[in-house]
Structure 1
Amino acid sequence: MFDRQKKGERAVLVLPHSRADGDAERRAEEFVELARSAGVEVLDRVSARVESPSPRFYIGSGKADEVAESVLANEADVVLVDHILTPVQERNLERHLKVRVVDRAGLILDIFAQRARSHEGKLEVELAQLKHLATRLVRGWTHLERQRGGSVGLRGPGETQLETDRRLLGVRVKALTQRLEKVGTQRQQQRRARLRNTVPRVALVGYTNAGKSTLFNAITTGGVYAADQLFATLDPTVRRIEDLSCGPAVIADTVGFIRELPHDLVAAFRATLSEARDADLLLHVSDAADEERDRLRSVVDSVLEEIGAGDVPQLRVMNKIDMTGAEPRLDRNVDGSPREVWLSAASGEGLDLLRQALGERLGGHRVQAELDLPLSAGRLHARLTALRAITGERVDEDGWHLSIDAPYSVLAPLAGESRGEEARVLHTLIAPESDDEW
């Protein structure tokens, strides 16, 4: 056994890779950036080729000896491994190296713990950490085992420290889960309110450090923290956009994705991820200056599939063109709909094209027509007023005679919510060619 150091800020990195890895260098640099994002001082890097993982250390025993020499020479107090280790492999490495060992999942969880700011975000991080820790409680406290005996039926070992830790951990996990369910219910109510207001929802997604938060701040007044580091933003922030041709919309900034994102973290971060899953449109932000942008985009798409957001429509955004010399532009699909916007969130170039594309993708066509409502349709009249869809109005004994000018996407949901005569009149307005069905 050894005494675990509490500071853990001086690290040796272990960078496993295989012969088939074509991006080993990029992956290594990303892990170094992860370590620095956690506030770690990187003392040394040890590259380890792993074709067949060792059940004992994951890396080979010879390479483990090399890491031990580096730890001793550099006086490191933690070893960070760029791979997800089993609890047994992590424990064996700690015994062999005589320092704390943290795998890729543990490092990402540590960064999330540092960056979470909201009450919900902190709860989600703690829950993910406890679930990760639960698999690491492997016979670490047998020296504190309490014995119970003397009476018939009570002889033998009592509750071990390991069992106590597991029980206490389970109690805490249950409490956190219940609190998160309560917060989730409140968030769902807020989301339903947005749905009732029929305001289109947009979510920013992309590989971490692609510039999502900078873009969010550029098109809103969000004031979200943005920095050139991994996972700069964790907590979901939602703001309203008013200057779109389709009318108002809400946009959410979400956590950046990364390869091998811990499953416990994916499961725990329901708040941030649900913004992507429930959105009407995803703004998939990529770093235009990154040569690996196409491959990183596929990583994000795979995570979106994992969280159930794979079918949500996307508008691609190529950010940071100020670093490439490219000009802002709007690329379209064969049918003329916006497909990809090239811009720079930092300089503001191309933001007008993004607003144009958002207006087209969210609004479709505008509905400009005359609408007659009976006096009994007061609820629908109030909704149209709240949505600023009424440009002219006249009232007589027959009801309201309205001039309507609003995006199709704003009016269409009202038809599904309305009943009877209101639904028939509104359906005739937005889809007159289908009036025969009524």
Structure 2
Amino acid sequence: AALINNAQSVGEVVDAANTIIDGRIAANAQEEQRLAILQASKDAFNEYLKTSEDEAALVNEADSLKDIVDAANTIIDGRIAANAQEEQARAADFQAKKETTITELQEILNDVLSDEEKSLIVDAYTVEEVEAAKDTIIEGREEVYTLIYTIDGEEDYRNTKAVHPGEAREAFLDFIRQENLDVDVIVYDKDTKSFRAFGGEQPYYFHYSKDGELYIDGTKAQHPGEALEIIRDYIEETDLEVTNLFYDERTNTFHAVLEDNSGVKTDETVYESLPEELSWDEISDEADELAEQYLPLFKAQDSALEALKSLGITSERLFDEIREATSVEEVEQLATSILETRKQQLLQNPEAVKALSIQRLEADGALTENQRALLTDAETHEEIAQASEVVTVQREVISNLNEGLAEDLSSEEEDLITNTSTVKEVHTAAETILNAREQKAAEL
């Protein structure tokens, strides 16, 4: 306005107006250029950063190049933080995958992995490498098992690789079903790692216990179903009150559980369904041999199952492996392996270690109230070990003092020892007792 007001003529007014218009046109051109550059910069950053809808909104709100750069830095910092969290989560998941794989392998193998085997998994960098390590460990543990069977009158063989006999047995049973072989039972020979298949007519046995004695009968049949029908007839004819009947395919034996200790002793006179071609002597001899051969096995299996259950093991697969073992040695080996694996797992848990320590110490004698509290209050592996050592030393010192002194320790003197909390305190208490005894003897 001042520019126009200062004009002295119409021509100067026109010139002033043109100057104002030109200035405004130039300013508008500069602003349009600035906005164009700003938008191009926004588009470039959005394209380069591949921004999400929310991230693009942050960039598009910028009013200057500096604001755009600040928005880009904010986006990049956020992505770095998010990536760090994702990486931590992936690392945690990967570590959990390794630990789960180790646990699964020990379940499959029924054994603790060696340090070398564990390192194959621990040192893996990818899930694929973990799976490859798992396969390598299994292959390293696998052994060759053989199935011996008869087809068209000729003996034939089939091999498979497995980590234990139970796995091989399942593979052979699948093969028998697929080939529709005339096989009713397969028996495992630990020494040769072979399974022998039996089919056709063969002896089947029926046994039950009464008044602590084992009674065994037998028959011949083409398959277990036929044998079961014969045995059911026998049960009905002899008025046996059977509550449960179990079949053991390894020994072709039906085990009966009687109600109220009922039943009569089996002999030739009451076995009316005994086939003519099967003599009583044959049944008796084979029954005696069967009892002598398998009763120790059954007892070993029962003992092993009780031991497994006592440590909280409930896996039916592990129980089946014990039941499928065909010798006392195999049962003991399986049980030892399973129990050792379980103990190794428990040793990773302080509470389990504490319980085992208390159980072990109680096996050698009752714990005093203070000794039990000392063990119960321990929380870490180190504290549990120290508490166990203190209790052991307390008992040794009491035993040594009772042997060395003319008069056994009094209950007060024993309390003085068992109320200690460290090995040093135990020996200090022992010295106190000896000094008191010596002083008392001197006064006499």
Instruction: Please indicate the TM-score interval, normalised by the length of the shorter structure.
Output: under 0.3
**TM-score scaled to structure 1, two decimals?**
0.20
The structure with the larger Rg is 2
Q: Which has the higher contact order (CA 8 A, sep 6+)?
A: 1
* Structure with the higher strand share, 1 or 2: 1
**TM-score scaled to structure 2, two decimals?**
0.20
